[in-house]
Structure 1
Amino acid sequence: MPRNSTGQILAIVLASALIIALGALLSMYFGKRAKNSDDWLAAPESLPLGVVVITQFATAVGGGVLIAHVGIAYSAGWSVFAYEGCVLLGFLGLALIARWLRQQRFTTVPDIVSRLFGTSRPVTAVASLAALIVPFGWLATQFVAFAKLFGELTGISATALILTITAGSLVFVLPGGLTSVVWTDFVFGIFKIVMSLVVAAYAVHLAGGWSGMTGKVPDELWRPSGITAVGGEQIGLWVAAIVPGTLTNQLYFQRVFATKKVSDARRGLVLSGVTILVGGLYAGCIGLAVRAMNPGLANPEDAAGWLITRLPAVLLVVYGAFLVATIISTTGAALQSVVANVIRDLYQNVFARRRDDRGTVSLSRAVTVLVAVLAAGLAIAFPSALDWLVASYAYSAATLAAPVFGGYLLRRRFTLRPVAALGSMLAGIAGCAAAQLAGTTVPYAVYGIGASVLALLVLLVSGPGRRPGAPEPAETALGLPAVTES
């Protein structure tokens, strides 16, 4: 791919530096809202509806949309909306329990499991590892995506770029933890939505407008029926892999926990799911436009990189800033989520260690730097060998889906005990591993979830029952009020 001129490279670097500096200033400003360690780790009951919606979008739309989703649209047209639809289904699934989640004032996903099944260090440890593996995978993968995209734009080495995005992610998180992340994401999220529409429109313009573009690509890709062009089998695989992964992704749960109003919890998820479709529109327009202009790309995921070389200088610089905003908002959210698990679940709950507010925040910041450095090292060492991180979705969903959603649905019918949660999670891991080793066609997450559900049901049915309407022991044992629905 041809390199850009020295002047353009310098302009892109300066624009990127400006975005990172703006993020740092916003983070420090909004970080002042974090008054204690709870605000740093969870930003409890602090987010208005609009901020919840936009920050969910900013978190979800990252390097995957910029590269992989554009590749889907290049090869299969509007089928990219089938992929985005799976994410939307996951958001709608979360919306079913969102009000309850918000009422219980959780901080992390393991909090949910502990609240339902009772306090247990082994349960918290397994749930914590399952919850943090996905955001850590996102973190390392976003670093790699940033290096690849900006490597094409500027010719700067991958190592230097990964170190740059690592530093940028840290300035998003360190001032105020989740409080600074979500408010900065809100500002960047608005910028991302506007730029997504602008770049998508310009790509269609380059391809000769709507009629010029549709006249050069197969009809089955751009017509409304093109949503199934990728084939039923592939869509089925997406449903099996993406929906469970979304349902158990702690990054999305955290925004629900932080809503200012209980009534906004469900509404925020539904509206957030709708905004995800903006990412599909961006990817679809760019993929189809590049397909019309250059139908011979060997790798569909090169479509976004090919388009970059065709952008005029001014839009190229702005697009560079857009890429930084897109990736850095996702990495900041993922980094903070991992740290919340390490501090709240492992350090405080599993190892039973405590510090005062100032000490907890200081420790959280130190862990943030360590996690970022570890992810950066992984991205530098294995820049093209991070496929194993895809397994994080499968194992996380197989471990957490049944205890969280099954526990919620069955909490009034059975006595939920820690052994049931632990057995269900371990069965999910074992089911995933067995299916992965067997090389099954169906995503091994499905087998893991199936094994986890079966184990949960067996352990609940074989354990002591509870009369309908009786107090919920997992909650009363913790000195908490019984769950009420309204």
Structure 2
Amino acid sequence: MNTNLILFITIAIVLLGIITFSYLLGRKKKGIENWYIGGRSLPIYVQIGTQFATVMGGAVIVGLVGTAYSSGWSTLTYGLLTMIGFIPFLFMAKWLRNSGFETMPDIIRHIYGHHPILSMLAILCTLIVPFGWMITQLIGFGNIFSTITGIDAPIIVAIFALISLAFVLPAGMTSVAWTDFIFGCAMVIGAVIAFFIALNLGDGWQTIMAKTPSEISDFPDGLAAVGTGTVLFWIFGVMPGNLTNQQLYQRIYSADNSKNATISIAVTAALFALATFWSSTIGLTVHSLNPSLDNPESATGWFLTQTPDWFLIMFAVFIVATIMSTLSSAVQSVVVTITKDIYTNYINPDIEEKKLVSVSRLVSIAVLVLAVLMAILYPQALGWIVASFAYSVSALLVPILGGFVLRDKNLLDQRAGIASILLGILGSASAHALGSELYVMYGLITSLIGLLAVAGYNKITKEN
């Protein structure tokens, strides 16, 4: 039987089983709170599974494998910086879980007060990361499966997007989180087997290292092989990136208690660092076997074409699990922001809960169609995730962390929030337009200046 046919049948069977599970879960877990934040009742193992599945996705199995192919251990640097970036969550998790938040704009409103300009700025900046992630997952899936099957990437992207709706529509966060847990288990199994297959294809670790350029494979020198400028950009843009990623905030909100929310964050951070070690291994192995790929982001797809058919089929299921979970999570996050923070707050505040769920499903379809178009027009996986992190960090990191630290000092108001967000965007965009690779750093500096300037003015005013 044709390998492609077996592949599609296997994936169809797996997806049908998970979709059925998702549908049954949706019939049991109804209501908008389940759609938005999983009913605030997710057990710790589901918490860890959905967080890990969310931060994996196309960036890890496509973008970071491509980075490892061209820059070796730099991928591990990306993972370690990301892990460090999770640390503030450990201090914030209890407050976040117990404050009754549903979105990131809720945090901004809680700290700075209600103001239409502040709310819209927070909403727009919140949408940047999950929407960027949606595009990343679609690009990653298209790149890999077009290499494996020979089918044009745009067709695969469209089909994949359509299937992903089946994981979001039944019960929003609840169905996404539980299917993420199942997908997360599949990810671990697939990654372990892939690791040993890669070592076997490369004739062992020593041979792989000997066949790759020393500037990318030597340790620890290879950690900075991507270049000092890029590493600095990662420090300012990627390391704190998850602190402005609503998908992770929603998972903290959805925990069954604050202790488990904190533990799950710590475990997820460690797992992500291990995942980027896996990406490094695959990328270096492919470089040792084929150092002349035109596009580094095709490294994962090329690796699969060199493996036995049984593994290609099994790993394809792993890829579907990885990317599907992150895509469905990103879709749900975008939809929650649009329906709660825009539609409910400003357009139809008296909408019935049942109708709001229906509206959420329609919005899911609309945003996914837009993401498909963007993925087809601008197919660069890692570039989308890095750019979305950079601008989101420039705008929201200081207002959130600074607001958390100063929340009880009676120094912050709407003006402080607006100034911090606006100056963060303007500082980052101006530096980017002038060609600076560290534009996110300038955004953070100007954002901090805006926050402290208004807070200082408020302090002087109160003292006088």
| TM-score, with structure 2 as normaliser | 0.94
CA distances 1:299-349 after superposition (whole Å, capped 9, x unpaired): 433321221110101111111111111111111000000000001111122
SS of residue paired to 2:239? helix
| 1:30 and 1:184 in contact (8 A); partners too | no
Equivalent positions of 1:50-199 (< 5 A) are 50-199=45-194
Q: Please say if 1:326 is aligned against 2:322.
A: yes
Task: After TM superposition, give the deviation of residue 10 of structure 1 in Å.
Answer: 0.9
Equivalent positions of 1:171-250 (< 5 A) are 171-218=166-213, 221-222=216-217, 224-225=219-220, 226-250=222-246
What is residue 425 of structure 2 aligned with on the other side? 429
Equivalent positions of 1:392-407 (< 5 A) are 392-407=388-403
Task: After TM superposition, give the deviation of residue 384 of structure 1 in Å.
Answer: 5.7
What is residue 286 of structure 1 aligned with on the other side? 282
Q: Is the deviation greater in 70-79 or in 427-436? A: 70-79
Which structure 1 residue ranges, 5 or more long, are not aligned? 1-5, 469-486
Task: After TM superposition, give the deviation of residue 467 of structure 1 in Å.
Answer: 9.2
What is residue 12 of structure 2 aligned with on the other side? 17
What is residue 29 of structure 1 aligned with on the other side? 24
Q: Return the alpha-carbon distance in structure 1 between the equivalents of residues 217 and 121 of structure 2.
A: 45
| 2:125 and 2:392 in contact (8 A); partners too | yes
Residues 12, 138 of structure 1: CA spacing in aligned structure 2 closer, same or farther, 3 A cutoff?
same
Q: Is the deviation greater in 90-99 or in 355-364? A: 90-99
Task: After TM superposition, give the deviation of residue 211 of structure 1 in Å.
Answer: 3.0
* Residue type of the alignment partner of 1:312: P
Residues 312, 431 of structure 1: CA spacing in aligned structure 2 closer, same or farther, 3 A cutoff?
same
Residues 388, 292 of structure 1: CA spacing in aligned structure 2 closer, same or farther, 3 A cutoff?
closer
What is residue 369 of structure 1 aligned with on the other side? 365
Residues 79, 208 of structure 1: CA spacing in aligned structure 2 closer, same or farther, 3 A cutoff?
same
| 2:59 and 2:385 in contact (8 A); partners too | no
Task: After TM superposition, give the deviation of residue 380 of structure 1 in Å.
Answer: 3.1
Q: Return the alpha-carbon distance in structure 2 between the equivalents of residues 438 and 167 of structure 1.
A: 40
Task: After TM superposition, give the deviation of residue 98 of structure 1 in Å.
Answer: 1.2
Which structure 2 residue ranges, 5 or more long, are not aligned? none
Identity %: 36
Q: Is the deviation greater in 280-289 or in 374-383? A: 374-383
Residues 308, 170 of structure 1: CA spacing in aligned structure 2 closer, same or farther, 3 A cutoff?
same
| 1:84 and 1:276 in contact (8 A); partners too | yes
What is residue 473 of structure 1 aligned with on the other side? none
* Residue type of the alignment partner of 1:419: R
Q: Return the alpha-carbon distance in structure 2 between the equivalents of residues 464 and 215 of structure 1.
A: 62
* Residue type of the alignment partner of 1:88: M
Task: After TM superposition, give the deviation of residue 138 of structure 1 in Å.
Answer: 1.1
* Residue type of the alignment partner of 1:392: S
Q: Is the deviation greater in 112-121 or in 18-27? A: 18-27
Task: After TM superposition, give the deviation of residue 15 of structure 1 in Å.
Answer: 2.1
CA distances 1:167-220 after superposition (whole Å, capped 9, x unpaired): 121000000000000000000011001101111110111111223323333456
* Residue type of the alignment partner of 1:27: S
| TM-score, with structure 1 as normaliser | 0.90
CA distances 1:136-156 after superposition (whole Å, capped 9, x unpaired): 111122112211211111112
Give the counterpart of 1:275 among 268, 271, 278: 271
Q: Which has the higher helix share?
A: 2
| 2:137 and 2:381 in contact (8 A); partners too | no
What is residue 3 of structure 1 aligned with on the other side? none
Task: After TM superposition, give the deviation of residue 464 of structure 1 in Å.
Answer: 4.8
Residues 421, 73 of structure 1: CA spacing in aligned structure 2 closer, same or farther, 3 A cutoff?
same
What is residue 303 of structure 1 aligned with on the other side? 299
Residues 93, 233 of structure 1: CA spacing in aligned structure 2 closer, same or farther, 3 A cutoff?
same
Q: Return the alpha-carbon distance in structure 1 between the equivalents of residues 348 and 417 of structure 2.
A: 20
| 2:143 and 2:298 in contact (8 A); partners too | no
CA RMSD, Structure 1 to Structure 2 (Å) = 2.2
What is residue 256 of structure 2 aligned with on the other side? 260
| 2:86 and 2:240 in contact (8 A); partners too | no
Task: After TM superposition, give the deviation of residue 398 of structure 1 in Å.
Answer: 1.4
Q: Return the alpha-carbon distance in structure 1 between the equivalents of residues 461 and 256 of structure 2.
A: 34
